[in-house]
Amino acid sequence: MTSLSDLPVRDDLRGRRPYGAPQESVPVALNVNENTHPVPAEVAEDITRSVAEALRSVNRYPDREFTQLREGFAAYLGHGLSAEQIWAANGSNEVLQHILQAFGGPGRSLMSFTPSYSMYPLLASGTGTRWIGVPRESDYTIDPVVAADAVRAEDPTLVFLCSPNNPTGTPLPLETIEAVYAASRGIVVVDEAYAEFAAAGTASALALLPGRERLIVSRTMSKAFSFAGARVGYLAADPAVIDALRLVRLPYHLSALTQAAALAALRHAPLMLAAVADIVVQRDRIERRLAELGYRVHPSASNFVLFGAVPEPRALFEALLERGILIRDVGIPEHLRVTAGTQEETTAFLEAMTELSARPEFGPLARLEA
């Protein structure tokens, strides 16, 4: 049987592994930062009607410019945005891929601040773009002066800033974005996939768009909108950036069904976002209880919590899995990450952690070292 090594795969792809989190059938899945609250019934009914209507003309290609959807996203985001400043694709990963296809490539580079979203280097690799990872501070923040110095030293073609950061949940002040943009000569992308989970009143990078033609702010419907399975991501930027992305997108890349479903969901935005408040409550429960148990909890502005002082992350991961609870080992030493679920799911996780933390092999390092 032919193996991958027998094929003429690009040299820079040899030895790499595809992106992928464990997919297990478990009662409590808290590993990939999904919104664990389902789409409300009345919204699902409207989406079903809208998709059924779109099916009547599915023999024809969809609107290549997805005009109505762009108008819907512009209205949702506010900040005086127009449809001409909006782009969308099949999930925010494809949005980021379009950006790299248009502005990256051989002889060009992408910088980000690590640890951050694991897809960034994979997207860079897939487009032949050189990856530059700059370590964050010990608390996973980004010092604006250090970041600006790194940008000036490396002069990257693109900079990706994750706000709040995945997998750490760390907020990103606008001042840091401004410093990076001022130091950069290239494209600066602020990935706001989890923006809706930030504290009320938190400023979005969307406020920085006027006068900054190289700034892009990306979003997704996967998280706050409970739309992970629908695969819809979008961005806001200068209209010239949108023109550049048209050069690399595949024809009719957003299906008529995707457009219809997303538009229906946007019509019910307040109801779709109602679960966000409950998720934030559950996230805060996780932070408080894990801290009480003695683990190192990193402040989160997202729908997940990164916690450290875990003596054997893989062992704790497996012990939780045996109890039907799936979380995420993100590869940071002595750390694990858990998504904030429903009240019942969060309770199941916290009860399991309370039980396991009492055992020497799973208890927080601070207690073991005392």
pLDDT of residue 366: 60
User: Which residues lie below 8 Å from residue 114, measured CB to CB, with a gap of 6+?
Assistant: 133, 134, 135, 136
Tell me the pLDDT tens digit for each residue of 82-119: 999 999 999 999 999 999 999 999 999 999 999 999 99
Check if the beta carbon of residue 329 is closer than 8 Å to that of residue 305: no
Tell me the pLDDT tens digit for each residue of 266-291: 999 999 999 999 999 999 999 999 99
Domains in the chain: boundaries: 23-39+274-369, 41-267
Check if the beta carbon of residue 264 is closer than 8 Å to that of residue 332: no
Q: Is 359's pLDDT higher than 90?
A: yes
How many CB atoms sit inside 10 A of residue 231's CB? 20
How many CB atoms sit inside 10 A of residue 61's CB? 11
Tell me the pLDDT tens digit for each residue of 217-256: 999 999 999 999 999 999 999 999 999 999 999 999 999 9
Whether pTM > 0.85 for this model: the answer is: yes
User: Which residues lie below 8 Å from residue 232, measured CB to CB, with a gap of 6+?
Assistant: 88, 90, 91, 220, 221, 222, 258, 261, 262
Tell me the pLDDT tens digit for each residue of 29-65: 999 999 999 999 999 999 999 999 999 999 999 999 9
- Percent above pLDDT 70 for the chain: 98
Please identify, in words, the CATH class of the domain defined by 41-267. alpha beta
Q: Where are the alpha helices (DSSP H) in 249-364?
A: 256-267, 269-272, 274-293, 313-322, 343-357
Please identify, in words, the CATH class of the domain defined by 23-39+274-369. alpha beta
Check if the beta carbon of residue 233 is closer than 8 Å to that of residue 88: yes
